[in-house]
Amino acid sequence: MPASHSFRSLLPVLILLVLLALVPLLSPSNRFVSLAISAGINVIALYGLSVLFGQTGILSMGHAALVGIGAYTAAILARDFNIGFWLSIPLAGIMAAIVAALIGIPSLRVSGHHFVIMTFAFGQLLAIILTNGGDYTGAASGLDVQQPVALFGLSIDVLTHYYLTVVFFVALSAIASWAIINSRYGRTLRAIRENEKLAASLGINVGRHKIGAFIVSGVFAGVSGVLLAYFLRHISPSQFSSFPSIYLALMVMIGGARLLLGPLAGGILVAFLPELLNLDPVQSRILYGVCLIAVILLLPNGLIAGIIAGWHKMFDRRAAQPSEPAVEREGK
């Protein structure tokens, strides 16, 4: 596939992110910017999940725990080593990758179902460890992060500045995810998703690449965790337990894991929908449940793929042509 063609999938995402970076010019409310920051932080983790789930076909039900590893790494580095935001980003990414390897190596060698349960159990286990970690992890009440964040002497702690920082990292994640999808490595992962037995017969080390994909998704989660810790300024175990993990899986499914716009759409929708509809937490949980069932039944490739397919159907009907281009573009 020529590079110019594949770039077409990245372009709409970048344009959208540039537009989103201009949002502060409209002087939105603090509440709106905060929600947008939370959404963006999730989207970064979702781009990692899209490599894991969308490309490789493996579902993680404990991904928030890897975000938690990133967040706690940042908080502990700041407290004990006086290491700030920027250096925490790569270090927390590495830390989450190492933890992903430790979970992935024993569980991904076996089978997919096994892995879903292992990741879920890991999420629970991490919450227990953090809660019982005494002063080191701050136990149930968690840790504060006090280090200021600055770039070239300019404070980023201002809400809109932090928002722009998050948009920047979302763009980096989207580009990284796009580069993976369009590389030889991405093709290998898709081969595993499509048919493991055939992939192995062609010389692909299926187990190793599945673990690799999980490690890669861990890096995204770790970076997302640092941004979360420095945004909230306080982290606690319950933020990284099974519910947030299920939400992440839900967002990537709602948006669609295989298209580059999917994680962005999923993250934004799930963050803003309850706000737009004025729902309380219980109502919004019910709404998510209903949305998830609807998406799985009606749009198995996610909302964005569904919209594109629908668009092609309408367009092709008007042009009175068979729906061949829709098949071409779907699932890419």
Per CB under 8 A, residues contacting another protein are 1, 184, 187-188, 190-191, 193-195, 197-206, 327-328, 331
Q: Which is nearer to another protein, 110 or 327 (CB)?
A: 327
143: β partners:
235
Q: Looking at 73-155, which runs of residues are DSSP E strands?
A: 143-144, 150-151, 154-155
Report, in Å, the least distance between residue 2 CB and another protein: 12
Find the helix packing angle between 281-298 and 242-255, rounded to 10°: 40
Euclidean distance between CA atoms 46 and 253, whole angstroms? 10
The rounded Cα 198 to chain-centroid distance in angstroms is 29
From the CB of 202, what's the least distance to another protein, in Å? 5
Contact between 220 and 172 under an 8 Å Cβ cutoff? The reply is: no
CB of residue 74 vs another protein: minimum separation in angstroms?
37
Q: 64: which 2 tokens?
A: 């928030």
Nearer to another protein, 38 or 301 (CB): 301
In the complex with another protein, the residue whose CB is nearer, 275 or 328, is: 328
* Shortest Cβ 201–another protein spacing (Å): 5
Q: In sequence order, what are the beta bridge partners of 234?
A: 144
Give the C-alpha separation, 18 to 295, whole Å: 28
127 touches 238 (CB < 8 A)? yes
Nearer to another protein by Cβ, of 199 and 253: the residue is 199
User: Can you tell me the distance from the alpha carbon of 97 to that of 40, in angstroms, rounded to the nearest whole number?
Assistant: 21
Smallest distance, another protein to C-beta of residue 6, A: 12
Nearer to another protein, 63 or 193 (CB): 193
- Residue placing its CB nearer to another protein in the complex, 109 or 161: 109
Count the alpha carbons within 13 Å of 7 in the hemisphere toward its beta carbon.
Answer: 3
Hey, what are 215's tokens? 């490690």
Cβ–Cβ < 8 Å for 163, 36: yes
The nearest distance, CB 132 to another protein, in angstroms, is 40
* CA distance linking residue 301 with residue 331, whole number of Å: 7
- In whole angstroms, how close is the CB of 182 to another protein at the nearest point? 11
Of 111 and 132, the one with the shorter C-beta distance to another protein is 111
Nearer to another protein, 1 or 297 (CB): 1
To another protein, the closest distance from the beta carbon of 45 in angstroms equals 25
SS3 state of residue 234: strand
Shortest distance in whole angstroms from residue 247 CB to another protein: 27
Rounded CA gap, 126 and 241, in Å? 8
Give which of 282, 231, 188, 210 is closest to 44, Cα–Cα: 231
Nearer to another protein (CB atom), residue 79 or residue 332: 332
